[in-house]
Amino acid sequence: MATTLELPATLPDLSNEEIARYSRHLLLPEVGMEGQKKLKAAKVLCVGTGGLGSPLALYLAAAGIGTLGLVDFDVVDTSNLQRQIIHTTNDVGRPKIDSAEEKLKALNPFINIVKYETMLTSANALEIIREFDVIADGTDNFQTRYLVNDACVLTGKPNAYGSIFRFEGQASVFATKDGPCYRCLYPEPPPPGLVPSCAEGGVLGILPGLVGVIQATEAIKLILGQGEPLIGRLLLVDALNMHFRELKLRKNPDCPVCGTNPTVTELIDYDQFCGIVPPAPMESAMNNGIPQISVTDFKKKQDAGEDIFLLDVREPHEYQIANIGGHLIPLGDLPARVNELDSSREIVVHCKMGGRSQQAAEFLQQAGFRKIQNLAGGIQAWSEQVDPTIPKY
């Protein structure tokens, strides 16, 4: 069941150069001259120019989408290059939005790029999103996913959604008039820290290519009014086993945003909704009852010969990449191996970035341990501030 967008009544003409460029589209009856003009008239907003945003934006640009909006405030990091194919080694340190614009204009000089070098927030999302016909959500956190969803529902814009983690991805089209929205599928966000980020859990570099291209395909189908978009369907991608499954989704009449009697009629505080607490300043050195110790302070204690037990709660394969000499008990094994720890000793817990070690410290505190501290920033902070020979990953 195709859905039709409201595009300008008078479609722009194609130059001879554009006709030559898009000839393989023009030969498809489902696209043709009129369809290509629709693509030229269309405006698509890419929220994020990272793993999903890279293939998404590249293929939309190649397809001849007339106006591409880019929202990003991050800079290119070496760890991005394994999957964020719009950026190159020479772009490390540059704003992602500038790097992306450069590649997109090089690919297709006929398109218009609109840049928003800012974090998408409740204060600016409606203003930005209402300028576009289709929104493509390539974000990697729950706060922004709910924000994009709610803004799409409130402005009546379809959301070509994708998400990835490790070897698995999801794609759908949310927030159309008759279809479900993201909140119909996930009414509540998971507890903070329960679902690791790609930075914590990793991601197969090719996976965002698969899912981002699906998002681009859905956006183009919406603009052309052709085919069967992923409305009311959640496509599940298992790249490791190369399985594609589909779940049927229904619009929830009681949905607080898109239901019959919505209670969310304006954008809210999404950090609060997702239970995200701003990081405590190091001066207070306390997070949810767990004392935080900086890597520099911990190094001073080590150098002073203090008897501190360092507990590493990462996975064994991470320990092989980089370690700072801690006793390895992965977070998932901790309940069964807690007897390996001496509760009378001062224990500092660490992981890659501080999230899993915080969970481990809270568990140990509940188990009766009193001399527990979390190493703030984990081994990443250690590499940055103490010993740069320790590899960052």
Confidence at residue 281, expressed as pLDDT on a 0 to 100 scale: 55
Confidence at residue 50, expressed as pLDDT on a 0 to 100 scale: 96
pLDDT band at 84 (very low <50, low <70, confident <90, very high): very high
- Considering the domain delimited by 286-385, tell me its CATH architecture: 3-Layer(aba) Sandwich (3.40)
Residue 279 pLDDT > 80: no
Residue 82 pLDDT > 70: yes
Q: Terminus-to-terminus CA distance in the chain, angstroms?
A: 44
Residue 261 pLDDT > 60: yes
pLDDT, one tens digit per residue, over 288-341 is: 899 999 999 999 999 999 999 999 999 999 999 999 999 999 999 999 999 999
Which string of DSSP letters, residue by residue, matches 191-234?
PTTTS--HHHH-B-TTHHHHHHHHHHHHHHHHHHT-S--SBTEE
Residue 217's nearest CA partner among 382, 63, 330 is 63
Q: Which residues make Cβ contacts (< 8 Å) with residue 177, sequence separation at least 6? A: 3, 156
Phi, psi of 136 (to 5 degrees): -115, 110
pLDDT, one tens digit per residue, over 122-171 is: 999 999 999 999 999 999 899 999 999 999 999 999 999 999 999 999 99
Mean per-residue pLDDT, 370-390 = 95
In the chain, where are the structural domains located? 16-273, 286-385
pLDDT band at 4 (very low <50, low <70, confident <90, very high): low
Return the H-helix or E-strand segment holding 9.
none
Degrees (nearest 5) of the Cα angle 8, 11, 16? 155
Please state, for a pLDDT cut of 70, what percent of the chain lies above it.
97
CATH number of 16-273: 3.40.50.720
pLDDT, one tens digit per residue, over 31-47 is: 999 999 999 999 999 99
Contact (Cβ atoms closer than 8 angstroms) between residue 66 and residue 223: no
Confidence at residue 283, expressed as pLDDT on a 0 to 100 scale: 44
Catalytic residues: 198, 351
CA dist list (Å): 222 to 42, 174, 176, 219, 265: 10, 12, 10, 5, 25
